[in-house]
Amino acid sequence: MSVDGPRRHRLDDLLGMRVRYADGRDGDQVLDALLATGGRVRGTMAELVVDGLVVGRRRPGTLFGYDRYPSMGPLLVRLVVRALHRHTGYVAWSDVAEADWDARVLRLTVDELRPLAPG
């Protein structure tokens, strides 16, 4: 660790990073981060920590959150979005083995994504 302390990153640095599975396959990219309140309080606010990541291919429905909320919108929209986002899934932050910030790659300890929980 440097004298300046640990290197800090913005959420924007995490979004768009590629993922590499434990078996060496390249995956898609980080679309979103799921945050949880940490155990510490800073001032009047609870500390936020990354709980997990939404990983998939960037598609039109991603912008509006349709990939994370499959019950949104009319039936026809739901069916199309579900088909477009069939490869989108969740990975817990504890499944991230290493973050190579310079190469913009997250190496995972798992070989596949978990399904997204219904919103």
pLDDT per residue as tens digits for the range 73-87: 677 776 776 666 667
Parse the chain into domains and list their residue ranges. Answer: 11-106
Percent of the chain with pLDDT over 70: 73
Residue type, 47: E
pTM of the model: 0.72
Which residues does the chain have with pLDDT short of 50? 1-3, 119
What is the maximal distance between C-alpha atoms in the chain? 56
Q: How far apart are CA 17 and CA 11, in angstroms?
A: 11
